[in-house]
Amino acid sequence: MSEAARIYRQLYRIRRVEEEVARVYPTDVIKSPVHLSIGQESVSVGLCEALRPEDAAFGTYRSHALYLAKGGNLRAMIAELYGKATGCAKGKGGSMHLVDVAAGMFGASAVVGTTIPHAVGYAYAVKLRREPRVVLCVFGDGATDEGVFYESLNFAALKRLPVLFACENNRYAIHTHQRLRQHLPEICARAAALGIPSERIEDADPFAIAARARAAADAMRGGDAGPFFLECMTYRWKEHVGPGEDYALGYRERSEAEPWIHGDQVAKVAAQLPPDERARIEEAVEAEIADAFAFAEKSPFPDDAELWTDVFREAP
């Protein structure tokens, strides 16, 4: 598959999965909070395009896109949202805690900023064992307010760890704009001051993100190049949590969204493909999605006894 085809398949798949989640949500089959990435897909897709299957990724409660882009199992994800025993966390995690160890998709946490040091610690292990792997660490602009962000970057810089930090800057933490939280909205400068080279990509172009991420990742693999910081500007189309829109709330104008909606990366990349290739991709994805929702639908809920398992990992 060409890079464009690969990227389009990812973009389309994530967009459509989330649209389906939004569509079924009002029927209450998903009885837990969902934070959709609609509009932001190209960031995760571009970043993961630079990764190898054996690389690791850490995300947030808004990680449907990252999970899928990194190769997480779709059936297990939808089943997890439905709270089913076949979910990626057996129904014990939910949308905010997606995990797929086989795909290298680790920890997604509901507490902002908390997985940043996990990525750094994982990278420490990778470097100690001299493995030619990298770790992708994705978080929002809100996370860059938190102290743990600085502590983690400082340590990654000090130990020259193979971490690709990626800030998905959609300008908002819930309903609060970055300018109401940071005097200087220069997140790259913060990373640079700690000794981490950094760069901002303004338009969420997945090819540009992939290219920059690949260069950074390949440079740090197995060596001493140390971490890199990418700030990817993007925009959340839906409400902070839930399936709807929220322009009526008044904290932002629809006009702010419009350039992003017009510049939609899913449509842009679609336009790069020959129509038949595009159709083939879309058809396959639609079938996969239908299968995943059907799988989730018919999977059983966990047994009551499952309440008590997994608190501790029992000795083998």
Partner 1 sequence: MSERDGSYVDGLREAVLQEMERDPSVVCFGLDVDDPKAIQGTTRGLVEKFGQGRVFGTPLAEDAMTGVAIGMALAGLRPVHVHIRMDFLLLAMNQLVNIAAKSSYMYGGSVSVPIVVRSMIGKSWGQGAQHSQGLYSYFMHVPGLKVAAPTNPHDAKGCMIAAIRDDNPVMMVEHRLLYPHRGPLPEAPYEVRPGRARVLAQGGDVTLVGISHALAECLRAQRHLADVGVAAEVIDPIWLAPLDVDGIAASVAKTGRLVVVDNGWTTCGASAEIASAVLEKLQGQRDVRVRRLGFANTTCPPTPGLEALFYPSARTIAAAARDLVEGRATGWLPAERADAVEIEFRGPF
Q: Which stretch binds partner 1 (CB under 8 A): 38-46, 121-129, 199-207, 278-286?
A: 121-129
Residue 304's binding partner out of partner 1, a second copy, ligand TPP, none, with CB under 5 to 8 Å set by partner kind? partner 1
Structure tokens at 132: 């030619």
CB 217 within 8 A of CB 51: yes
Establish if 312 lies at the interface with partner 1 (CB under 8 A).
Answer: yes
How many binding residues for partner 1 (CB under 8 A)?
Answer: 82
Distance CA(304)–CA(267), nearest Å, equals: 45
Applying CB under 8 A, the span of 4-12, 46-54, 87-95, 220-228 interacting with partner 1 comes to 87-95
* In the block, residue with structure tokens 């239908």: 290
Q: Which is nearer to partner 1, 190 or 268 (CB)?
A: 190
Binding site for ligand TPP (CB under 6 A): 62, 110-112, 139-143, 170, 172-174, 240
CB under 5 to 8 A by kind: which of Mg ion, ligand TPP, partner 1, none does 245 bind? none
Question: Between 2 and 176, whose beta carbon lies closer to Mg ion?
Answer: 176
- Site residues for partner 1, 242-261, by CB under 8 A, read 242-243, 249-251
Of 174, 165, 211, whose CA–CA distance to 49 is shortest? 211
For residues 139 and 165, which CB has a smaller minimum distance to ligand TPP in the complex?
Answer: 139
Q: Can you give the binding site for a second copy, defined by CB under 8 A?
A: 145-151, 154, 157-158, 160, 180-184, 186, 189-190, 192-195, 226
186 binds, among partner 1, Mg ion, a second copy, none (CB under 5 to 8 A by kind): a second copy
* Residue 56 binds to partner 1 (criterion: CB under 8 A): yes
- For Mg ion, the binding residues in 135-174 under the rule CB under 5 A are 140-142, 170, 172
- Residue 168: name the closest of 206, 118, 123, 130 by CA: 206
Provide the residue type at 23 as one letter.
Answer: R
d(CA 216, CA 226): 9
3-class DSSP state of 165: strand
Per the listing, tokens 């509009």 go with: 39
SS3 251: coil
Question: 39 or 107, CB closer to partner 1?
Answer: 107
Q: At 219, phi and psi to the nearest 5?
A: -65, -35
Q: Of these partners, partner 1, a second copy, Mg ion, none, which one is at the site of residue 170 (CB under 5 to 8 Å by kind)?
A: Mg ion
Helix (H, G, I), strand (E, B) or coil at 201: strand
Which of 16, 97, 214, 280 is the binder for partner 1 (CB under 8 A)?
97
- CA 282, CA 193: separation in Å to the nearest integer? 44
What is the smallest separation between the CB atom of 251 and partner 1, expressed in angstroms?
A: 5
Closest listed residue to residue 46, CA positions, set 19, 63, 66, 72: 66
Least distance in angstroms from the C-beta of 124 to ligand TPP: 20
